[in-house]
A and B are shown apart, each in its own frame.
Chain A
Amino acid sequence: MDKKMKSLQLRHVDAGSCNACEQELTALLGKDYDVSRYGIEFVASPRHADALIVTGSVSDTMKPALVRVFEAVSTPKGLIVIGDCALGCGVDRRAYASHGGVQHVVQPDLSVAGCPPTPQEIVKRLQEYMDKHTTV
């Protein structure tokens, strides 16, 4: 029988952010947010991950790496994008070496808007994601 996800292991890829989105993701690990109590963890390898969590509008140089890391996550897998840049509405989306958002490279399952989104917002959306998805 399918069950709700009890844990969510994430691998992070920065595809061209300004680093504030990263800092908010790091804040999730601090004691004020402490996402480990909800079973959310950042893991070292895409092979260990349930989903990829991506920031930045995707620079051309990062594009092949992003695709490869996503391929390395085993199925079923998710793609979560954090911040306006990754969502395709960031300030640098029209720059010549920006692909203007993750959706032009791989399709996201969850998008958290904001510049950067607050840690509260990210936690809330990740929990909703876990509620909606099932483990096999």
Chain B
Amino acid sequence: MMTEISLYDAHDPWVTINAMHRQQGDELLALTGFRDQKIKAHWLLADGSIAREQVRCSSDRFMTLTTILPEVAWDEREIYDLFGYTPIAHPDLRPLLRTQRWPDDFYPLRAAMPDRPLWRDGEPDQAMKVVQGEGIVIMKVGPTHAGIIESGHFVFSVMGENILCLDAHLFQKHRGIEALLQGKSFPAIQPMIARLCGSDSVSHQYNLLQSIEQVTDRHVSEVVQYRRILVAESERILSHLNDLAQIPAGVGFAVAHQKGLALKELWQRGMAVIFGHRFLFDAMYGEVFTQEDKLHFLSLITSFEALWAKWVKLTEKNVAFHDRMRGVGKVTRQDAKQLGAVGVARRATGEKSDMRKYMPLYQVVDFTVATALGGDVEARFQVRLLEVESSLSILRQTLARMGDPSKEEPFVVPSDLTGETVTFSESPHGLNVHVIQWLDGKIDRYHIRSGSYRNWPVLAKAVEGNVVADFPLINKSFELCYSCTDR
């Protein structure tokens, strides 16, 4: 596909209005395509309110925003792949999710309920972006890997030992979940949303709950709100423990890796007892929290903290470990901003960006946003360490304030439920946004822009100039999820 750079119009109102938001320092929540030819951009403003900008495609075309907002490069390619709406003058319109196996006329999100197409035979190969020149070697890895890892295909352009460019071909696991949700009711999609991703499940569940509560104006009791904080911070700890245990594995620090996994196991067993699931699937939907649960939780925290302190010491005093992390996989503050980095990756460049500060749920607890300087593997490791500790403190604060369980009125979703919401939360992997349209009690459109989705292009940037052998380490320091990216 040739791009029509010459057709770019910087004065297109769609471009100027979104450029203004960026200049104001607003945070882009999502860029979403709809079946009625509309594209909407939702922006979070400094005061916590959400602005919605929209454009209607004319003959299936709209002006690209990638030129002024590099972070939407993938979103626009996705809209092109799934709806067939062309972003005019997009600098790189290679297929993102589509493969050569897709029938030409198959644009799944154009239909309310797309059928399974007749896939073509053959390999799903896609066009690669590589650097050419004398001495440059192209190294392809995946989609399947030599360990227990999610599937993704990576194309490295390498010179000597150095990575010049990484072209990440994700979406190997694209299943078509957004379309699957269409036409379904709230109870039917609850388990699906909880299983979008094993590491940020709670955050996805919470976004769905917020949507239903915004549209129906339902208010839940204080106890239930506190319980939600407990579930959300439990997930942050669980997910960070997983990622913290993986980083030492990336440099062969086996003791810290093994002991890290043991900490995670301890936490998961506690989660199974208190919330009924080792990964907190469906746990956010629950509303019951008994006195016994509270006691279990307090004793879990106490036994966890003793082992945690030892683990932190083990990693702190290992100079070689810190030496291996320092300066590796560096993301500058400017790149983080430009590419729309979120979560730990962004805070590790010194920016105090944490969506919990915008979430009413968290107004009742005290915590400071953890940051580190350096933007490297060490900084991302450090931010997670601090966040586990602040989450433990939030848990203790919440448990101390939690009153007796109240009896919630059984909630019935009205059958005429209609409306559009944009809900977000700070998942363990950063800002996670759901754009949801309800029509007569059913999902009309559901778009998921997860923290991992935003950070993949940041990871690709972070590995440039590093040695190939450090890719696993850098990759683990982001530990991004493929599942909720690919959907």
Contact = CB atoms under 8 A, between A and B. Distances in A.
Highest count of chain B CB atoms <10 Å: which of A15, A17, A56, A66 = A17
Contact of A16 (B175, B180, B197, B201): B175
A92 B175 contact: yes
Contact of B262 (A19, A22, A30): A30
A78 interface: no
Contacts of A116: 198, 278-279
Highest count of chain B CB atoms <10 Å: which of A16, A17, A60 = A60
A14 B149 contact: yes
Contacts of A16: 151, 173, 175, 483, 486
Given A59-B173, A61-B172, A96-B115, A27 B482 contact: no
Interface in A80-136: 90-92, 94-98, 115-116, 118
A20 B279 contact: yes
Interface residues of A, number: 44
B90 to A, nearest CB: 22
Interface stretch (B26-34, B116-124, B377-385): B116-124
Interface stretch (B139-147, B301-309, B360-368): B139-147
Contact of B279 (A14, A23, A57): A23
A56 B144 CA distance: 13
Contact of B173 (A20, A24, A56): A56
B149 A69 contact: no
Contact of B148 (A12, A18, A31, A61): A12
Interface string B263-282: 01100100000000011010
Contact of B197 (A18, A44, A66): A18
Interface secondary structure of A, over-half rule: loop
Interface in B181-230: 191-192, 195-199, 201
A13 interface: yes
A116 B108 CA distance: 29
Given A23-B279, A31-B262, A91-B192, A62 B114 contact: no
B468 interface: no
A22 B173 contact: no
Contact of B124 (A13, A29, A64, A94): A64
A81 B172 CA distance: 19
A32 B265 contact: yes
Contacts of A13: 144, 151
A94 B180 contact: yes
Nearest to B142: A65
B284 to A, nearest CB: 15
A26 interface: yes
B261 A26 contact: yes
A33 B261 CA distance: 11
Interface in B436-487: 481-484, 486
A25 interface: yes
B293 interface: no
A51 B175 CA distance: 25
Contacts of B265: 27, 30, 32
Contacts of B117: 96
B195 A19 contact: no
B483 A18 contact: yes
A92 B177 contact: yes
A45 interface: yes
Interface string B249-266: 000000000100110110
Contacts of B52: none
Given A19-B482, A20-B281, A14 B173 contact: yes
Interface of A: 12-27, 29-32, 42, 44-45, 56-57, 59-62, 64-66, 69, 90-92, 94-98, 115-116, 118
